[in-house]
Amino acid sequence: MSVTSSDPRIAGARAAPKRGIRFSWSDPLFRAIIWQIVIVGIVVGIGWYLVHNTMQNLAARRIATGFDFLDRVAGIPIGESMIAYDSSVHTYGRALVIGVLNTLQVSVVGIILATIIGTLVGIGRLSSNWLLARLTAFYVEVIRDIPLLLQLLFWYTMLQGLPPPRQAWSIGDTAFLSNRGIKLPLLEWQTAYGFALLGLAAGIAATIWWSRRASRVQEQTGVRPSVWPVAIGGMVVLPLAIWALFGAPLVLDIPALRGFNFQGGGTISPEFSALLIGLVTYTAGFIAEIVRSGIQAVPNGQWEAARALGLRHGVILRQIILPQALRVIIPPMTSQYLNLTKNSSLAVAIGFQDIVSIANTTLNQTGQAIEVIAIIMAVYLTISLSISLFMNWYNARIALVER
Amino acid sequence: MRWNGAGALALMAGLAVSLGFAQPATAQGSGSATLDAAKTRAQILCGISGQVPGFSLPDSQGVMRGLDADTCRAIAAAAVGDATKVKFVPTTTQNRFTALQSGEVDLLSRTTTWTLGREGNLGLLFAWVNYYDGTGFLVKKSSGVDSAKKMDGATICVQPGTSTELAIADFYRVNKMKFTPILIQDLPELQGAFLSGRCDAYSTDASALATFRFSQGPKAADLVLLPEIISKEPLGVMVRKGDDKWFDIVRWTFIALITAEEKGVTAANVDSMLTSTDPDIRRLLGVDGDLGKALGLDNKWAYNVIKQVGNFGEMWDRNITPMGVPRSINNLWTKGGLQYAPPMR
């Protein structure tokens, strides 16, 4: 409610409390309080009725309730998992955690890739290169106008069209592409890597310290000492030197065709790939439009002023236009990130086991629909609110720095 | 029907809410709330799959065909006197139990395995088994595999939320082998993944594998059904707990179908059988006794079922035999099978 209004009616309402509450229907404050009580009472009453009646009906139908099933051995097979999972040992609780991790995995990778591709395409649409501008415009229009589910099924079918494992396309017999996914060699862990990583961390710290010092020197003298020699020395040469000191151990776990499929190495499954490609290309189409509109929202005078200073096109875009465009871009970007995360639930259609897929299976094997649906809602609410909070924080930071 | 994740979620959330509003069943009329409701709307609501040839799949005229569909028709003939008064409600493996629990369907006739967990936890009852089945594997002939024991490391296509996925996990654990599951909800999409070579094997009930193989036409010869049947899958007809009268009707309608086959009563000869002197047949067809009344139905209930749908053997011959699946353990007990009707008296 606005108290700054000069509307005389509202001014009158503001004056009322000074007289205190009269227990009369003609007192606006009294009426307001009564209405609040009635509305809260209705909401609480409906909520209580729903919960009570659900419990009563579940009991009447002898349907088990409660979250005890989370501790029961799951027995459901899971195709891909970031943490160890054995269906004969682990519980439904762990299976659901795997689902959450899988959802987070595809969402985080998807958000990063969609942002990069979307930004490039958005800038491309504004390019003076006729071909580039038309191609990106075509991409945006086609991708945005086809339902995501169809795109996912399209990508999944395309990936199934790849050759079978025995005729897989290979890169030097170490990495393979087949309809079972991408098989990559994995590094086998050595103690030397631990020390090399410590060296890398030290290198990063040194680079940050040197960069801050460079800024201080620049403020005092106007000349910025170059940072790159420290960066290369600390983050590339130092870790490599440590690794070489340990005798440069390098053991690769190379995938090899044995029996039905490749054994060893790491796998990127067709299900994950199809979901990621679909989500990234689809969301990038929307992000491209947000970036384009954000850039165009910056007044043309900014471009002209920068050109008048003799700056190059790339520098103008990076240093002048994008920072201002970000203020327009960030808020709608948040909803695209939320969309991508929520759209990842379409994974069920192509067999990637995200939280919805695993929760659905759990629901079916245990029959506890209400509990499982509540878990799914809680998971998405938590992820979405986290994204929102982070983006709001970032938005506030951009606004503060720039204004 | 293309299955979509958001839609199913919305459906399930809706069901959860409708469960919240549903009133407890009241005992009035025939003593069966489900039967009373079916009579009022002059129709029964039957949950089926709608995607499995031989069990429930619409034909070119859009008429639902199959053993499960005919089971629904038999119940309709018994309950409301007309086998055509069935509304077929397609359900997925994942929303089928919720659909039955919430009252969206009156019974589930959907190649669903009878297990303790489902009766104990879900508030549901299995009335009778209409198909004794088991989990099998279908592989491509080109893979050269001739036994399930040789499938270590295989990728297997399976529908999530089924007893099949649990059976495979058990089988692989017992035999100390590893497998990669590909779990896709939508049946045509799953079968497509198998045919395209994403999976080495497609696993589900052996009956569904046989009918799927049959539906491939000339390409059926490229697919091999492995000899191992790794689990028991008695596929049954399910109802809600708490309406025992309705449970009786569903169970005894099925027993009537088997009794009719045992006694040689068919759709063609049921009228002449009315004058039979066999007391079992006379009781079955309602000429003597009050068996129908005991169920809260007309005494002609079994006559209606047999006249309009035929006996169990006729249902089998109409739907399963054309798929090239032998009757084997699904035969009558007198012919070496498991179907055995308790006495109707």
Q: CA-to-CA distance for B31 and B50, rounded, in angstroms?
A: 31
Pair (B109, B219) in one structural domain: no
**Same-domain pairing of B331 and B238:** yes
Please give the pLDDT value at position A403. Answer: 45
pLDDT confidence of residue A243: 85
- Provide the pLDDT for residue B58: 94
Cβ-Cβ contacts under 8 Å, A87 against chain B: 169, 173
**CB of B144 within 8 Å of any CB in chain A?**
no
pLDDT tens-digit map of A60-76 = 777 778 888 899 888 88
Note whether B168 contacts A: Cβ–Cβ < 8 A: yes
Nearest Cβ partner for A261 among B98, B123, B153? B153
Q: Which residues of B touch A76 (CB under 8 A)?
A: 160, 165-166, 169
Distance of CA A219 to the CA centre of its chain: 38
Residue A260 to residue B151, Cβ atoms within 8 A: yes
Contact flag A160-B16 (C-beta cutoff 8 Å): no
- Give, as one character, the DSSP assignment of residue A82: S
Last residue of a domain, one of B199, B231, B263: B231
Residue, of B250 and A81, whose pLDDT is higher: B250
How many CB pairs below 8 Å do chains A and B form together? 171
Do B12 and A369 count as a contact with CB atoms less than 8 A apart? Answer: yes
> What is the reported pLDDT for A10?
54
Domain boundary among B173, B201, B231: B231
Alpha-carbon distance of A98 to A82, in angstroms, equals 7
Min distance B45 CA to chain A CA atoms (Å): 19
Residues B92 and B35 in one domain: yes
Q: Cβ of B242 and A79 within 8 Å? A: no
In chain B, what's the furthest Cα-to-Cα distance?
63
The mean of the pLDDT values for chain A is 87
Closest residue in chain B to residue A55, using alpha carbons only: B20
pLDDT digit string, tens, across residues B70-129: 999 999 999 999 999 999 999 987 788 889 988 999 999 999 999 998 888 888 999 999
Q: Are residues B54 and B90 in the same domain?
A: yes
Return residues 270-329 of B near A (CB < 8 Å): none
**In this structure, is residue B10 part of a structural domain?**
no
- The residue among B177, B211, B231 that closes a domain is B231
Say whether A363 and B12 touch across the interface (CB within 8 A).
yes
B147 touches chain A (CB under 8 A): no
> Residue A196 in contact with residue A243, Cβ under 8 Å?
yes
Q: Are A295 and A325 in contact (CB under 8 A)?
A: yes
Q: Do residues B94 and B155 both lie within one domain?
A: no
User: Given B98, B179, B192, which is nearest A369 (Cβ)?
Assistant: B98
Residue B203 · residue B138 · CB < 8 Å: yes
Distance from A341 to chain B by nearest Cα, in Å?
Answer: 13
CB contact under 8 A, A373 and B12: yes
B63 and B203 in a common domain: no
Task: Give CA–CA dist B195/A176, Å, rounded.
Answer: 21
Q: Residue B278 carries which DSSP code? A: -
A165 or B234, greater pLDDT? B234
| Contact yes or no for B190/B157 (Cβ under 8 A) | yes
- CA torsion, points B271, B273, B277, B281, in degrees to nearest 10? -110
Structural domain of residue B226, as residue ranges? 135-231
CB atoms within 10 A of CB B332: 17
Sketch the domain layout of chain A as residue ranges. Answer: 8-60, 92-169+268-402, 191-245
Q: Which residue of A has its CA nearest to B115?
A: A365
Residues B160 and B297 in one domain: no
Orientation angle between helical segments A148-160 and A270-296, nearest 10 degrees: 140
- Total tally of structural domains belonging to chain B: 2
Same domain, B180 and B192: yes
CATH of residue B270's domain is 3.40.190.10
Report the alpha-carbon distance of residue B250 to residue B237 in Å, rounded.
8
Whole-number pLDDT of residue A401: 58
Question: What pLDDT sits at residue A28?
Answer: 85
Q: Does B15 touch chain A (CB under 8 A)?
A: yes
Q: Residue B140: which pLDDT band, with cuts at 50, 70 and 90?
A: very high
Asked if A369 and B186 come within 8 Å (Cβ–Cβ), the reply is: no
In a shared domain, residues B140 and B214: yes
Structure tokens at A248: 């440069």
Is residue B164 within 8 angstroms of chain A, CB to CB?
Answer: no
Tens of pLDDT along chain A (403 residues)? 444 545 555 555 555 556 677 788 888 888 899 999 999 999 999 999 998 998 888 887 777 788 888 998 888 888 888 888 888 889 999 999 999 999 999 999 999 999 999 999 999 998 889 999 999 999 999 999 999 999 999 999 999 888 888 788 887 777 888 888 888 887 777 778 888 889 899 999 999 999 899 888 888 888 888 888 888 888 888 888 888 888 777 777 778 777 777 777 788 899 999 999 999 999 999 999 999 999 999 999 999 999 999 999 888 988 888 888 988 899 999 999 999 999 999 998 888 999 999 998 888 888 788 899 999 999 999 999 999 999 999 888 887 554 4
Residues B94 and B206 occupy one common structural domain: no
Same domain, B124 and B213: no
**Position B23 in a domain:** no
- For residues B120 and B241, membership in a common domain is answered with yes
Q: If you classify domain A92-169+268-402 with CATH, what class do you get?
A: mainly alpha
Contact B185 A360 (CB under 8 A): yes
Which chain B residues in 107-136 lie under 8 Å from chain A, judged by CB atoms?
A: 117-118, 120-123
Length of chain A: 403
| Whether residue B9 has pLDDT greater than 60 | no
Give the minimum alpha-carbon distance from B44 to chain A in angstroms, rounded to a whole number. Answer: 20
Q: Which of B2, B26, B198, B199 should we substitute to test contact with A (largest number of A Cβ atoms within 10 Å)?
A: B198
